[in-house]
Structure 1
Amino acid sequence: MTLEYIDPSANPDGVVINVVVWILLVFAGIFVGLRCYCKLSRRRRLWWDDYLLALSWVIILLAPSLVLSVNTSPADRDKIFLAASCAATSSNIRLGFGLHIYDVPLSNLITIGIVSNVSGFTSVLSLDLSKTSFGITLFRLTDGWLRWLVLAVIIILNITQLTSVLFFWASCDPPAKIWNPQLPGTCWPPKLSVVVGNVAGALSALFDVVLALIPWKILFRFRMYGREKVGVAISMSMGVFAGIACIVKLTTLPLLEKGDFTYYGKPLVLWGFTEASLTIVAASIPFLRSLCPTPARTQELPSLEVPTANRHSETANAAHGGRPHAYSKL
């Protein structure tokens, strides 16, 4: 069936969603770029946490648009809003997302379902990667029981988040019934997906708080002035705002049981993008210290140094002609 495109003036809620989503994505992208710039300008190499964070931003920006272009005929492809915006949420709004389902053309519903599914999948995957990125950063800065705690958070976070994304593809047999309810087949109970989403979301919010508190513990061992320590600790604790966004997002999940996703899914999409963007921003802020002027006396101090390697690792690294990494810096 040929897709029917909705005029923006007939979908004001969709316009608001579109504007907010793009502001959030651009905002997060700026922080990712500044993070990489600050590290490279200080002649520091990018590491796995940097690559994961950048990938988490790229995934929610590009992956859904690729899927939509594949699922569209060549005749319609040049008409899609992706040509101008290149994002799944924007294209869905062009097809009627933001309106009540009975106001959406029937020919658009399957495409909206497919793109929403892929968009939700990539959104969760992006969250997982961005939180894992910050976890890896803390893992490099900790030792002893704190390092084991961070490792446990990373493992549990990935297990719960990857389990929740299975519902985007495995909750129906055949999978196409997920976005086309009229197909014959069976699906898992809708409440099951809500329960799994709540559990994964609650753990995600809890881990945001845990990862935000850990810097306060490790920063007291840094060779820094007290005011600078507090400033860095606060900057590394910004993930708590992502946790708050996650909690608010969880309150929108029960709306999905009403069956009118194109209308009641609006707050879920908005808070989902908000959480993802805040997570990326929170993981980037600690690396932007070089953009802030500091007193001359503090420039002489090796800021953000914390012992993270035992004596054996220092010796082994030195034996290979490398620089002993008794300290790991942001």
Structure 2
Amino acid sequence: MPRRTATMLASTLILIALLCAGVLIKVPYSEMSPGPTVNTLGKVGGDPVLQITGHKTYETSGNLNMTTVRVTGADYNMNLIEAVYGWLGHDSVVVPHDTLYPDGKTEEQSTQENAEEFSQSQESAKVAALTELGIPVSSRVVVSTVLKDSPSQGELHAGDVIKAVDGTAVKQPEDVAKLVTKHKPGQDVTFTVIPAKTAAAAEKAGKEPEGTEKITITTEKAPKENRAIVGIQAGTDHTFPFEIDIKLADVGGPSAGLMFSLGIVDKLTPGQLTGGKFIAGTGTIDDKGKVGPIGGINMKLVGARDAGARYFLTPDDNCEAAASDTPDGLTLVRVKNIDDATKSLEKIRTGDAAGLPSCSTG
């Protein structure tokens, strides 16, 4: 066999061996890529994403798209070739597996956590939108979770309204932990609550819940800490003056909060918030309308650009990363809260793009 032919054959065999090894070698990485975007002013599966009942609504136009990131599952074992391809690609990013699934979190646990965050983001989006419009929303501190085998199991229940702890009125969820930890482990703490069933019946009737009960619970020592706990997590529940239903399946996490809130504002106000333009964005939102950072910003920018967006509402804390790799044709708009966002939408609508708050790399 001629030397040149032998060399080419050997090189081919080595290449095949390397490719096979690349397929067989598993690496501890996961991939993030642009996910679908959804217009919060539009429909999905024939149903409006935002359905408002019991209050006058107005026609909308244009797009206020929430954006998503697609990630490989917790149980997916990426091979070396896939990792290298992802590293070299521009529209995806390869990250350590523990970045997406820390502490050995399973896909089921991650899905459940994302679903809970998505549900909470919807509630906060409603509160932020109505507050922005000056529409009153009543709120109360409730038991969100009762831990299994904790002192509170069987005594307190999810949905119980917490009015006071040891006679001290509770106004914020964090007040509960502060009052409980004033005790030493093994001491009693007294909760004044409205039972969940009573509260639910009152909410259904459009009334404020009444009728309290006092429940005494013996605290226990927190794992690895010398402080008293009762084994509950407190949260906030709201009563809205009319029904706002957000329908969007197969989406998780809190990052759509800003865009949901803007969609609600648009539907509840005359005129058109977008002026018919295609605007996308992302960001968590709290009850007070503050916009928080999210993960996968660069993937969301690509998804928004590919969907046709011209402007992207960007959380302040994500601005520097977004500005470092902005897709052509997409204008970044810095937002810190819902008021910033609505004012920027007004500038976009009136053609005052030069006055928009922008993002920079430093």
TM-score range, shorter chain: under 0.3
Name the structure with the higher helix share: 1
Instruction: Give the TM-score normalised by structure 1.
Output: 0.26
Name the structure with the higher strand share: 2
Instruction: Give the TM-score normalised by structure 2.
Output: 0.24
